[in-house]
Each structure stands twice: as C-alpha cells, then as structure tokens.
Structure 1
C-alpha cells in the first residue's frame, strides 16, 4: 500500500451498473455492496450523475446546503408545458427563500389536524380493502395485493385529504402513474408524451377544484391551502397550490404503494418475521420502518451543486448533479447490523427513505399511518397469507416496486 487514504482515490469512471438490466433490477443490493467496498461516491457516465452509495455520503448529499433541488425544465420546453409548470412551482424542486415560504404555508395547512383526523378513517379503509382481498382469495384462490389494497389505499387517502369528489377519484392514479415515469432515465418518447398529457389534464382538473373551493370551502386540505396566509401576508399562487396538490398525490401514492408491496413481499419471503408480526402487533411501527429500509421504494434522490462541494472526497462542481442512492444507504453495514436481513424489531433504524434536511418528506406521518394500517389489516384478517405466485417486478430503477403481488392462504 502507498498510504493513500481510500477517500483520496479517484471515483470510478466506468459505468458501475446498467439501470435497465433485468438482473440488476431483480437484486441491485449486491451491486451496491460491491460499489461501497470500492468507494463512497462513483460516477455513472450513462446517467450523467455521481452516485453516493454509503449511508454517510448519502446523508451528506441530502443535508449539504451547497447541494439543492434546482429544477431544470424538461426539454424542449414547448413539449412539456404542464410537466414543467408542476415542477417549477413545487415545494420539492425549490430552495430557500422560495422553499421556505412554500413549506411554511403548506405545513401550516397540514398542521390543522388533517393527518390525525384521517387516522381512524384510514384504518377503516384498510380493513375494508383487505376484506375485499380476502373475499377474492376465498372465491378464486388468490388475489393481487397491489390492485386490491396497496394501490387504492393511498389514492383514496390523498383524495380524501384534498377533498376530491368520489366520482373523480379514478382519474388520479393513471395521472400519477404516467407523470412519475418521467423520473426514470432514458424514457421512450411515447412515455414522455403520456406524462405531459397526464400533467396537463391534472392541472386543468385541479384548477377547477381550486375554483370550486374558493367559492365553497370545505374541511379539506385544498380549502386550507386556498385560505392559508403566513405572517408576511404571502399566499400560495394558484400554480403553487396546483403543484402542491400534485406533489402530494405523486409522492404519497407511488411511494406508499411500493412500501406496502415491497414490505409484504419481503415478509412473505421471511416467514419467521411474518409470524412474529402476526403474533406481536405492537411491532407494527418498527415493521413499517424496516419495510422502508429493506427494499427502498425510492432508490435515488438527486441534488445539484450550487457551489463547489466535496462529498466523501469526491468533488461536485457547480451546476453538476450528485444523487443519494437510498437503496445503497439502507444496506450499509457501517450503520445497519446484518443489513441484508429483514428484522422487524430493528431499532434504531435510521434509514433515509423520507429524505433528510429541509426536503424531509412533509407527508411522512401520513405515509406511516397508511402502511401501518395496511399491515395491521393483513395480519388480523389474513394471518395465513402466502405468496400465490412469484411476483413480476416493474422494470424501473428509481421507483422500485412490483407489477402485481398475488396472495393466497397457506
């Protein structure tokens, strides 16, 4: 050895993985472990971004004030008018002082008791959805957890939170599914076009909903967002209000679907952990956290350097991007004992699934309520659940989940 410290070594310049490779998507965690052994940050030329793979480096990426969410319009801008409008005005895609103002206003509306108000309603909804799943299993031998429980649960919850009329709620999931495809790398042109159409339809719908709530306020978050004003007299613009509502749906829906799906799939594969959860419902909160950690629903979160930044010895020049690879951070043995083992008793569990710093997920409390309600209903109403077939994985990297997850009775 020449005495050079590992963090002084140059970052890997070869492509560390192919994010479209089905074998990699089936199990990216072995690749992440190999990358961590070689260094904490690696360049990915194919994706045009540096990737932090250790827990400490990912935490630094999420916390560093020289790394921000700097929105760059999708190009050509004339093709992505609605998509860009949503992101340009989003809480998630802005830095202070705009972020500070938006978060203060949105947090004030959230702080009016909406999440706790929904807790019993969410539990009752989860019970009803799981009852439908159990009935389907009884009549057909198996049923898809995703279509019967994991997908409708967060859509209904966000729709209830926003005050979307019941007749309109079937519109929300297709819009969300189409828009989030834009977060993948190397997206085909037809899916880009579908994302813009969905964004335009969603924007138009929400403008109508906002206009209705201005005229007739209700006990919902959109009404509160219309009304809320901060100490300086600032209010959300209509574009900001629309962008906030879309962000809540996309972040709340996609992530929660995949936490439930990924978590239940892991529990079905680790029967001792499933049996433990069935027998010890007090472990539900820690089971939720472990589900988020073990198979991260969001694998990657980007930041852009606003100044020269160093992360684990890797220089990020101004204007260039680095991402926290959350799935890699969640399996870092420096932080998690036996990281490849599912352990619903794990405590502490400092996963980064909800982010960190000023962009920490505002909807985290609601997401935890939803996932816990789903797991609770399943353990009580389907304690003998088993996988009825090997599930099919979605061939996407950033948003990690399953296409379907059929359960039966053992």
Structure 2
C-alpha cells in the first residue's frame, strides 16, 4: 500500500496518495498497524476531533532512549489536556508578547545578509538552512554560532518520526538528545542569572510566577521549539522554491509582482507539504468517514494527500498556482495541536521568498538532491544560478 522507502515514492508520492484517496477516505494499513486518513475531510475531521489525541509511546530500550523519551513526554506536542493546555498557554503567551512581529525586520535583514553572501550553488546550505536556525536561536536567546550543532542534533532526533527506524537511527537520536538537553540546561542556567528579552527568559519568568513548569518540561519545550522552529521552514522553502523554478510562469508572477508574497506563501506550503504525516490515537471508540475506530487504535493523517484533494482544491489540485485563494491547506495542522509557531514560520517564508525573488529574479535550477525520507519531506541540496 505504502512503501515509504521506495525511491520512486520519495521522489513523487502524489500519484500513490491520489490512488489511496480514490480508494477510500480511511484505509487500514497492515504493515503499520493503523488507519490512514487520505482525504481533506477525513484529515480535518481527525485533527479536530476530541476523540483523538497525541499519545506518546516510549522508544525502547529505555536505558538507551531515556532522554529521547523525556524530551517527548514533557513537551506540548506529545501531550493532551490538562498538560497540553498548560504547556501551550505558556508558549503561546510568550509568543503573544510581540516576539514574532518584533522579529519581522530582523528576519528580513538576516535574509538579505545571507543572500548577499550567496554566489550560486546550493541555496539550501547557504541560505535556507541557516535562516530559520538563526531566527529561532535569536528568539530563544541562544548564540547563532551554535547553529551547526543545533541543526545536527535536530536532524538526528526528527529522523525518529519516519514510519520505520533502525538501531543506528535510534543510537544517533539518543546521543543527540543527550547533547542537546545538556546544552539547553546550560543555556537555561545562564538565563536564570542573566535574564534578557528572549523566549527562554519569558518561560523562566512564567515558572517563577507560580506555574508548575518543571526543568524537564522547560528543556523539552526549548528543544521542541528549536526542532520544530526550523525543520519545517527549511523544507517548506526548498520544496516551494523547486516547484516555483520548475514552473517559470509562476516564478514570473512573483518577479513582476502580479501575485503578492503572502498569497504565494500559502501555495508554497500546500503544493509539496514539508510534513506529510500527523499521527493520532483514538481516546474513545469513534469513527471517521463512517469507518469505526476503536479506542487505542492509531490513525495517520496524510497531510500531503489532503493538500492535493480535488474535492477541495478542484481540478487544479495537482497544479502549482501561486494565485490560489482561498487556500485551505492543512500544512500547520488543525485543532488543539495547530502549530503554535505558524505565525513565525509564515514570517520566515515570506521574508526568504521575497528576498530571493528581489535579488535573483533570473534564478534558474540546475540540480536537486532529495532527503531520503518522506514524513519530513525536503531537499538536501538545491543547486541554482542566476542568469
């Protein structure tokens, strides 16, 4: 049904996803032992339903994966109310203090600084990857100079989200989690003594004012924000840029200003989704699209499939159209787990797209190399040059 290791599927999963949508809105996957939500309506219903939740299951062996498990158990993405409510309130409250809008000019300035230094070649390593890492580092209050380690640790941990993992993947994630956690604890200890205008200081302040945020929860929250705060942004930029350059008519619309960057960004997120799967567990006997799902059974929401559903996006669902409006994609999720960092991700994408278009209107694609993963869908390299 779905072989996520097949190179043909990784290169272009959308014909297979279309076939699944045509078969049924909700299907059973024997190999994964869970249901698949294939259509926009089934994905939306699942993500909005209180009958489903993010129920974390520890990785084994516990002695090796203890820190990995701690990072997941103690962060909002892997919890349901009341723990999720409390953690999200703390993080959303800090984001709501003007951090995102205050960072907008800094994001734009950083994009311009990075593109000034770009002379052609791989735009991912020179521009797309450092930009969101620097942004989230500034937001949290950690040094930009540590971006290489932050990126390396993040990559090792997020590879666990693929449907199948190996012993080597687990070992690399375990080491990264230990190093990442120790790094964050040092930063937290420093900020306790030297408060500043950053998100870590805000989270510490919230804790000092009577909330029950533990040290493990604080560390897990910071690691989550560093991971989620740049992984999706990097992949969204690369996937969208390749699509735009492979559709010269759409690229010209950006260059000549016939489509605004805000509208274009939503298609950037929809067309080739950087996160292809969200998993949920039934917390009660329920159903989706008329299919019974028992308490404890899992369902995988196929986000990339939902974003290509002709029932919602019409006959142009498989076309890259930067003028698409409205654009009800599910790129940031829905329901109580809607991405708390969505406003920042949009600011980053808008700034990075606008800067590249303005500086390199004649940009051309020369070569690409995809990451060998599907759930986290993106490019390792995107080689370009300006004519």
TM > 0.5: yes
Contact 2:253 2:259 in 1 (8 A): no
RMSD over aligned Cα atoms: 1.3
Counterpart for residue 9 of structure 1: none
Counterpart for residue 198 of structure 1: 176
Report runs of 4+ in structure 1 exceeding 3 Å deviation. Answer: none
Counterpart for residue 363 of structure 2: 385
Counterpart for residue 319 of structure 1: 296
Aligned equivalents of 1:259, 1:326: Cα separation in 2: 13
Find out whether 1:109 has 2:109 as its counterpart: no
Q: Which segments of 5 or more consecutive residues in structure 1 lack a partner in the other structure?
A: 1-15, 138-142
Contact 1:305 1:319 in 2 (8 A): yes
Residues 154-182 of structure 1, C-alpha deviations (whole Å, 9 max, x = no match): 10001101110233333210000111011
TM-score (norm 2): 0.97
Tell me, what secondary structure is at the counterpart of 2:117? helix
Aligned equivalents of 1:269, 1:348: Cα separation in 2: 23
Aligned equivalents of 1:126, 1:321: Cα separation in 2: 40
Q: CA deviation at 1:230?
A: 10
Q: Does the C-alpha gap of structure 1 residues 94 and 279 become closer, same or farther in structure 2, counting only changes over 3 Å?
A: same
Counterpart for residue 30 of structure 1: 15
Aligned equivalents of 2:111, 2:178: Cα separation in 1: 31
Residues 224-270 of structure 1, C-alpha deviations (whole Å, 9 max, x = no match): 00001599x32421111111111111112110000000000000110
Q: Which segments of 5 or more consecutive residues in structure 2 lack a partner in the other structure?
A: none
Find out whether 1:302 has 2:287 as its counterpart: no
Aligned equivalents of 1:313, 1:331: Cα separation in 2: 22
Aligned equivalents of 1:33, 1:190: Cα separation in 2: 33
TM-score (norm 1): 0.92
Residues 129-167 of structure 1, C-alpha deviations (whole Å, 9 max, x = no match): 11222xx22xxxxx1011011100110001101110233
Tell me, what secondary structure is at the counterpart of 1:209? helix
Q: How many residues align?
A: 386
Contact 1:281 1:376 in 2 (8 A): no
Q: CA deviation at 1:297?
A: 0.2
Counterpart for residue 60 of structure 1: 45
Aligned equivalents of 1:104, 1:392: Cα separation in 2: 39
Tell me, what secondary structure is at the counterpart of 2:310? coil
2:115 counterpart (130, 133, 136)? 130
Aligned equivalents of 1:385, 1:316: Cα separation in 2: 49
